[in-house]
């Protein structure tokens, strides 16, 4: 004989089975670089990672997935390692701004990073300043907080001195204010006359 508990268990099992059967299919996805954030992920759906699909930022303690290596690293007979290696790094501040600027100019994040690294290596290999050309580097070096504070204070000092060096224009301002008040009085008088004529 079936009691209430057995019937409830059967109804619960049928409800769970219907819910599972009616769910939306989950796409399997593919591994690769995300079209949105350029990080490598083991699962992309329509070219986007979960963060980009959901429109959210990764958590602060999130670290990118390591890119699997398809090439088996073997040493050649001389003992040299392979000529290239995939490297991942986290960019912030001025370096991230420069990366974004280069991407906006049409480069991929990878190409922009490679160009910046190569430019840094070229700058590092240039002769001493007395022998080097006066060419400007392609991107600014990252400033320390102290350097940024000094730069900010220098800028503020320049603004304060500019304000203090301005000539006194209080007489001109007072004259312009008096002219404006006279013009407003004339306007009120003219408005009253027009209203009287129309009435």
pLDDT in tens, 141-167: 566 777 777 888 888 888 887 777 777
Is 186 within the bounds of a domain?
Answer: yes
Domain that holds residue 191: 167-198
CA 144, 145, 149, 155 torsion-angle sign: positive
Is 177 within the bounds of a domain?
Answer: yes
Is 139 within the bounds of a domain?
Answer: no
Write out the E strands in the chain: 30-33, 40-44
Is 133 within the bounds of a domain?
Answer: no
Is 171 within the bounds of a domain?
Answer: yes
pLDDT in tens, 44-92: 888 888 899 888 888 888 888 777 765 544 444 444 455 556 667 677 7
Report d(CA 151, CA 165) in Å as an integer.
21
What is the domain count for the chain?
Answer: 1
pLDDT of residue 75: 46
Report CA 30 to chain centroid distance, whole Å: 26
Is 85 within the bounds of a domain?
Answer: no
Smallest CA-to-CA distance from 141 within 103, 93, 85 is with: 93
pLDDT of residue 148: 77
Is 121 within the bounds of a domain?
Answer: no
Do the Cβ atoms of 60 and 68 come closer than 8 Å? no
Report d(CA 155, CA 149) in Å as an integer.
10
């Amino acid at each position: 004989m079936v009691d209430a508990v057995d019937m409830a268990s059967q109804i619960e099992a049928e409800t769970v089975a219907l819910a599972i059967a009616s769910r939306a299919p989950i796409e399997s996805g593919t591994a690769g670089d995300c079209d949105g954030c350029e990080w490598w992920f083991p699962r992309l759906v329509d070219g986007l990672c979960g963060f980009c699909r959901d429109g959210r930022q990764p958590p602060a303690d999130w670290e990118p997935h390591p890119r699997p290596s398809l090439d088996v690293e073997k040493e050649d007979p001389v003992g040299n390692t392979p000529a290239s290696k995939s490297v991942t790094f986290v960019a912030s501040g001025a370096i991230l701004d420069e990366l974004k600027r280069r991407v906006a100019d049409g480069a991929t994040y990878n190409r922009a990073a490679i160009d910046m690294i190569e430019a840094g290596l070229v700058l590092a290999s240039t002769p001493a300043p007395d022998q080097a050309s006066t060419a400007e580097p392609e991107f600014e070096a990252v400033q320390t907080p102290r350097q940024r504070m000094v730069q900010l204070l220098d800028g503020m000092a320049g603004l304060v001195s500019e304000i203090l060096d301005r000539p006194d224009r209080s007489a001109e301002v007072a004259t312009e204010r008096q002219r404006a008040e006279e013009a407003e009085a004339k306007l009120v008088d003219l408005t009253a006359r027009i209203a009287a004529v129309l009435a």
